[in-house]
A and B are shown apart, each in its own frame.
Chain A
Amino acid sequence: MAEAARQALEDIGVDPERMELEWASAAEGPRFVELITRCVNSIKEKGPLGTESNEAEEDVKRKLEAAVEAASASKVRTSFGMLAKKFHKDGDYSPEAIKEAVAAKFTPAFRKERIAQEIKLLLKKGPMSITKLAKIVGSTKAELEKIVAPLIKKGILKEEKKGLALA
């Protein structure tokens, strides 16, 4: 879960270290204090959300909204669930193995869905050219076209003079 969340954050330009996963057992009050203090200080150093990507709040929020939608999509969730099942079966929970597997299976599915969701959000405000869309969502034109094609086919999007628009 943590690795998937980190890679999802990275995909939308949020420093993945803003999410910490730590362990403190019931008996470890002092350790808990140490962890929390360290976490607060680390976030203090990073500054407010969006500092690292130097983006406007509005853009960060939109990307996050698209990300939440993407993480709710059954395709993305299936890839995530299957991964967890595989780790369970293999019993290999080494960080490297998890990182690699998540990057291979979960993150591409997530990215595709996230971009699709973000396009939908962007187009709510009116049509936009593919070049501009690609720049905003952080992808190449080729990647974007690949994502857009099935959406046009399904009749969710349509091509207009000014570029793409919601159907």
Chain B
Amino acid sequence: MYCPRPIADVYNERLDITRATHIDFPQAIPTSYYIDPKACLRVNYQTCNLCAQTCTAGAIDFSQKPKNLKLKVGSVILAPGFGRVSHDVLEKFGYGRYPDVVTSYEFERLTCASGPTEGHLIRPSDHTTPKKIAFLQCIGSRDVTCDNGYCSSVCCMYAIKEASVAKEHEPDLDISLFFMDVRTQGKGFDAARKRAEEKYGFNVIRARVPKIDQIDSQLALTWTTDDGQSHSDLFDMVVLSVGLDAPEDAHAIADIAGIELNSYDFCKTSHGAPLSTTKKGVYVAGAFQGPKDIPESVTQASGVAAIASELLKEGRGTQTVTITYPEEDKALEEEEPRIGVFVCHCGVNIAGVVDVKAVRDYAASLPNVAYYEDTLYSCSQDALKAIAEKVKENRLNRVVIAACSPRTHEPLFQETLRSIGLNPALFEMANIRDQCAWVHAQEPEEATQKSKDLVRMAVAKARLLEPLAQPTVDVTPKALVLGGGAAGMTVALSIADQGFETILVEKSKELGGNLRKLTWTVDGQDARKILKDLIKKVEKHPKIDIMLEAELESTSGYVGNFTSTVSKGGKTEMVNHGVLVIATGGEEHKPKGYCYGESRQVVTQLELEQKIAKGKSAFKTTKNVVMIQCVGSRGEDLQHCSRLCCTQAVKNALKIKELKPETNVYIFYRDMRTYGFAEDLYREARQKGVIFLRYTPDQKPEVVKQGRGIKVNAYDRLLGEDISIPANLVVLSTGIAPGENENLSKLLKVPLTQEGFFLEAHAKLRPVEVAVDGIYLCGLAHGPKGLEEAVSQAKAAAAKAAIPLVKGKVAVEPIVSHIDKATCIGCGICATLCPFNAIQMVKDGKRKKAETITASCKGCGICASHCPVLAINMGGFTDEEIFAQIHAFSPEGCGEELEAEKK
């Protein structure tokens, strides 16, 4: 506050001003101020000292000096992220010269509610709202002139996201996006892109704009489309979709860690071991390993943790500090409810729409509310501490937080309650962000009213909340891995290397899965050797038990204590295990049409690989090879993009050229999605004479039989006419279809995506977990991906699966059913209906009575809603609590007299 030294706000891309003493951004951890030593007057000129004098907590100490620490560690993990594309590259597009040419980083801040303009989109030159914006892709990517020959993998999708956000701010905006190829190969990305294009009506142009000129106050763009036509237009603003570069200090990191870099200064790794650097004990995760999106980065981060955990297994637990909680204040909990209501602004996420202060004041008027307050970010560390203090200070025994979703934040707040001796069940949330402010952004009054209603309902429930017991149960230290392909074997090996027994169940009679069909990897390694080594390690491992020709029949139980039956050769075997990993894979899609199955000259990419493996002789008579991409994928039989086919096609095209350079190879494609370093292969293929021809879904190439041969009829966009290529071999890139997932989905109660792959718990933050605790996911069962990504994901699943195994205990959810024995008439309806077999009928004197098996109960409540005599209640969701919420639904109140009567 008192810092007199203004500096450019780096977090806001220098579009705003901050002080030398500042917090980078509101959700920074920890959210405490720090002093920029480069700008501080005290540090540089020994003057000022204002902050130290005014800080009442005495938290500023200028006598501190940097220290060198020596740490003894078992492994080193590098995760320095990515660097920025150099300024020279941007200057080629007028950046720095024309103020309305901005980078995608700047645009992100300009459209962000917590950014310098509070989300109002303006042109930097004259602060007016632009009407027409162009996004230019591949700035500093796929560009050998700046030594960045690779594709940055993330820019196509983030440009569509930024364009969508801009459209939401300014619905009349006219947005053009200039792509070379639209590379939205991430899981669910193609569907998201399609939705955005339809909803917002973007102009999607396939062209690379070479340069930008300024004419008066507008920017002039000239480009050539792939039909050879030239175009030009004026725009108010141009966004440069900047790529991901290697970290600026990559060489310094490499020297310190003793690792090698690749030709682009990213960390050198291989497809078979994507997380290992060239030095033993040093591992890598995230964008330093290669440009990648959040899910892949988070996955690699977990994966690298698995490797560290394998190495550190001997020393595990030797340096652990256990959290101890104060004893529960039972007396306080039993007192008349004293409810504290905390209404969160969530920065502008809630407060930008909802009148937070009005909601707070409304809460004050509700019965039993003893304390109320609004907080800026209630989930920040500081705010949690403050909430804990207020609860203690005011002797509160129930807490209501009106903020985001209990699905994401309830555990965090409950932890705070525990830390001050309150039972975590004495907590309720009102979801005024995800289900209010965010979805009623145009109706602030209604959103405020809804928030008040939700708070009233939450308070009504809170008044009746009771403390719940938190039992823990022991974990069976064993893992069950389904699927013996590359992913499944990698998971099994890692879990076993971390010290736990693992059962590997494979449906077929041998291990290997789809990896069996590959002959070499994208980076040129011998796939068969990788497979052989992997199988050998798995077979030799004393802690891995392999079951071939076996299938899962049933699974019951819960995290830590599953019991499954596996059928093998007509017999079934029962296994107890603590965790389960789904690595059941997928399969190459077998398409309809394209003469596939009718002519031996029409094959899939995997079938081509087998042929190439036979060597040059297999291509003796082959003159023309035609490959067709997206056969079956992206809207034919399969809705999704299969992610790996473009790279696979280019890899195989190059192999054909290597075996027999005079072969003509044609590749028909929609967008070449050779993301990441695979772009090098794409470029090499073009240099070696592979001919790439783009087609659109309404003009698909046709495969026609002609006598004993075949030909491919297609439209050539550059020539502007139909062409016909006689082919000796037609190769279809058919994509990846999900395996037979429906059955397993039902068996394990794990949901599938619309495309039929398993759905992860959170696309970005929990990419290898699923909705069911104790079950993890990796490989093609999750979605199409290449070997490199499957291996990273398998390691990540192994890391997550090992967590309960390492802990040895899991806490049982306290929301289970409670059966009042005195009221129960032993009808057995509940026991029949329970989907988890969590109710047993036990003899109690003469009659049988129902009893809950607490550890199996999931708290669904079917038993309670079907009990004839209302003898069953649910922890945290009692009849009384739900009725109180229903009554509070009415603003005037309803049924309270009834409640009072019943008491």
Chain B residue with the shortest CB-CB distance to A80? B866
Q: Are A26 and B759 in contact (CB under 8 A)?
A: yes
8 Å CB contact of B833 from A26, A72, A74, A84: A84
By beta carbon, the residue of chain B nearest A76 is B868
8 A Cβ contacts from B275-304 to A: none
- CB neighbors of A among B833-864 (8 A): 833
Q: In whole Å, how far is A130's beta carbon from the nearest beta carbon of chain B?
A: 28
Secondary structure dominating the interface of A: helix
> B829 near A82 (CB under 8 angstroms)?
yes
Asked whether B827 lies within 8 Å of A88 as measured between CB atoms, the reply is no
* Mask: chain B, 792-831; 1 = CB below 8 Å from A; 0 = not: 0000000000000000000000000000000000010100
Whether A27 is near chain B, meaning CB under 8 Å from some CB there, is yes
Instruction: Please tell me which one of the listed residues B754, B832, B868 contacts residue A77 in the complex, with CB atoms under 8 A apart.
Output: B868
C-alpha spacing A89/B827, complex, angstroms: 15
Any chain B CB within 8 A of the CB of A25? yes
A60 and B388 CA atoms in complex are apart in Å by 46
Contact B868 A85 (CB under 8 A): no
In the complex, the answer to whether A27 meets B827 with C-beta atoms within 8 Å is no
Are the C-beta atoms of B771 and A26 separated by less than 8 Å? yes
Q: Count how many chain A residues have C-beta atoms less than 8 Å from C-beta atoms of the other chain.
A: 17
A82 to B751, CA, bound (A): 30
- Residue B870 interfacial (CB < 8 Å): yes
Cβ A81 vs Cβ B829 within 8 A: yes
B interface bracket (residues with beta carbon within 8 Å of A): 10 to 19
Query: B753 at interface (Cβ–Cβ under 8 A)?
Result: yes
Q: Which chain B residues border A77 with CB–CB below 8 Å?
A: 866-870
Q: Are A74 and B829 in contact (CB under 8 A)?
A: no
Query: Which residues of the partner chain B approach A88 to less than 8 Å between Cβ atoms?
Result: 832-833
CB distance from A84 to the nearest CB of B (A): 5
Q: Which of B833, B865, B866 has the most CB of A within 10 A?
A: B866
Which residues on the A side are within 8 Å of B827 (C-beta)? 78, 81
Within 8 A of B (CB), among A20-64: 25-27, 30, 33
Question: What chain A residues lie within 8 Å of B867 (beta carbons)?
Answer: 77, 81
Q: How far is the CA of A72 from the CA of B865 in the complex (A)?
A: 10
* Residues in B whose Cβ lies below 8 Å from that of A25: 751, 759
Question: B869 to chain A: which residues have CB within 8 Å?
Answer: 74, 77
Q: Collect the chain B residues with CB atoms within 8 Å of residue A1's CB.
A: 865
**B window 741-759: CB within 8 A of A:** 751, 753-754, 759
**Chain B 180-228 interface residues, beta-carbon cutoff 8 Å to A:** 195
Q: A26-B751, A26-B771, A27-B754 are in contact. Are A84 and B759 (CB under 8 A)?
A: no
In whole Å, how far is A24's beta carbon from the nearest beta carbon of chain B? Answer: 11
CB nearest neighbor in A for B830 = A81
Tell me which of A74, A77, A81 has the highest count of chain B C-beta atoms within 10 A of its own C-beta.
Answer: A81
Q: Which of A69-111 contact B (CB under 8 A)?
A: 72, 74, 77-78, 80-82, 84-85, 88-89
Q: Is the interface of B mostly helix, strand, loop or mixed?
A: loop
Most buried by A among B771, B867, B868: B868
Chain B residues near A78 (CB-CB < 8 A): 827, 868
Contact with B along A1-25 (1 / 0, CB 8 A): 1000000000000000000000001
Q: Specify which of B753, B771, B829, B870 is in contact with A72 (CB 8 Å cutoff).
A: B870
Taking CB atoms and an 8 Å cut-off, the chain B residues in 860-887 that contact chain A are: 865-870
Tell me whether A27 and B865 are in contact in the complex, defined as CB-CB below 8 angstroms, given that A72-B870, A81-B827, A81-B829 are known contacts.
no
For the complex, give the distance between the alpha carbons of A133 and B867 in Å: 32
Query: B832 to A85, Cβ gap below 8 A?
Result: yes
Residues from chain A with a CB closer than 8 A to the CB of B439 are 33
Nearest CB of chain B from residue A68's CB, rounded to whole Å? 9
CB–CB A74/B751 < 8 A? no
Q: Which residues of A contact B868 (CB under 8 A)?
A: 74, 77-78, 80-81
Contact B759 A27 (CB under 8 A): yes
Q: Closest residue of chain B to A31, judged by CB? A: B754
A10 CA / B829 CA spacing, docked (Å): 26
User: Measured between C-beta atoms, what is the minimum distance from B439 to chain A in Å?
Assistant: 8
Q: Is the CB of B829 within 8 A of A85?
A: yes
Q: Return chain A residues, CB-CB under 8 Å to B195.
A: 30
Across the interface, which residues of A come within 8 angstroms of B754, CB to CB? Answer: 27
Which residues in A have their C-beta under 8 angstroms from that of B833? 84-85, 88
B763-774: contact bitstring with A at CB < 8 Å (1 yes, 0 no)?
Answer: 000000001000
CA distance A30 to B832 in the complex (A): 35
Q: How far, in whole Å, are A85 and B833 apart by their CA atoms in the complex?
A: 7
Give CA–CA (A1, B759) in the complex, Å: 28
| Cβ-defined contact, A84 with B771, below 8 A | no
Return chain A residues, CB-CB under 8 Å to B771: 26
Complex Cα–Cα for A132 and B832 (A): 44
Residue of A nearest to B407 (CB): A26
Specify which chain B residues have a CB less than 8 angstroms from the CB of A27 in the assembled complex.
751, 753-754, 759
CB distance from A2 to the nearest CB of B (A): 12
Q: How far is the CA of A77 from the CA of B827 in the complex (A)?
A: 12
0/1 string, B638-680, CB within 8 A of A gives 1: 0000000000000000000000000000000000000000000
| Chain B neighbourhood of A26, CB < 8 A | 751, 759, 771
Nearest chain B residue, comparing its CB with the CB of A28:
B754
Taken together as a complex, chains A and B put the C-alpha atoms of A74 and B829 apart, in Å, by 13
**Shortest Cβ distance from B863 into A: residue:** A81
Bound CA span A30–B194, Å: 14
Residues of A within 8 A of B829 (CB): 81-82, 84-85
Nearest CB in chain A to that of B862: its residue: A84
Output the nearest chain A residue to B754 by Cβ-Cβ distance: A27
Q: How far is the CA of A84 from the CA of B830 in the complex (A)?
A: 10
Query: With A26-B759, A26-B771, A27-B759 known to touch, is A84 a contact of B751 (CB < 8 Å)?
Result: no
Asked whether A81 lies within 8 Å of B866 as measured between CB atoms, the reply is: yes
Q: A25-B751, A27-B753, A27-B754 in contact; A84/B870 too (CB < 8 A)? A: no
CA distance A25 to B870 in the complex (A): 30
Closest to A87 in B: B833
Name B879's closest neighbour in chain A (CB-CB).
A72
A72 to chain B, nearest CB (A): 7
CA distance A77 to B870 in the complex (A): 9
Tell me the smallest distance from the CB of B901 to a CB of chain A, in Å. Answer: 13
Residue of A nearest to B751 (CB): A25
Query: Nearest Cβ distance between residue B834 and chain A, in whole angstroms?
Result: 10
Report A41 CB to chain B, min CB distance, Å: 16
Q: How far is the CA of A77 from the CA of B866 in the complex (A)?
A: 7
Report the bound CA distance from A153 to B277 in whole Å. 89
Closest residue of chain B to A33, judged by CB? B439
A30: chain B residues within 8 A (beta carbon): 195
Chain B residues contacting A85 (CB-CB under 8 Å) are: 829, 832-833
Q: How far is the CA of A71 from the CA of B115 in the complex (A)?
A: 54
B192 CB, min distance to chain A CBs, angstroms: 10
| Alpha-carbon distance between A120 and B544 when the two chains are bound, in angstroms | 70
13 pairs of residues in contact across A and B, judged by CB atoms under 8 Å: A1-B865, A26-B771, A33-B439, A74-B868, A77-B868, A77-B869, A78-B827, A80-B866, A81-B868, A84-B829, A84-B866, A88-B832, A88-B833
A residues engaging B (CB < 8 A)?
1, 25-27, 30, 33, 72, 74, 77-78, 80-82, 84-85, 88-89
Q: Which 3 residue pairs are nearest across A and B when measured between Cβ atoms? A: A81-B829, A77-B868, A78-B868
Beyond known contacts A25-B759, A26-B771, A81-B868: 5 more, CB 8 A cutoff: A26-B751, A27-B753, A30-B195, A74-B869, A84-B833
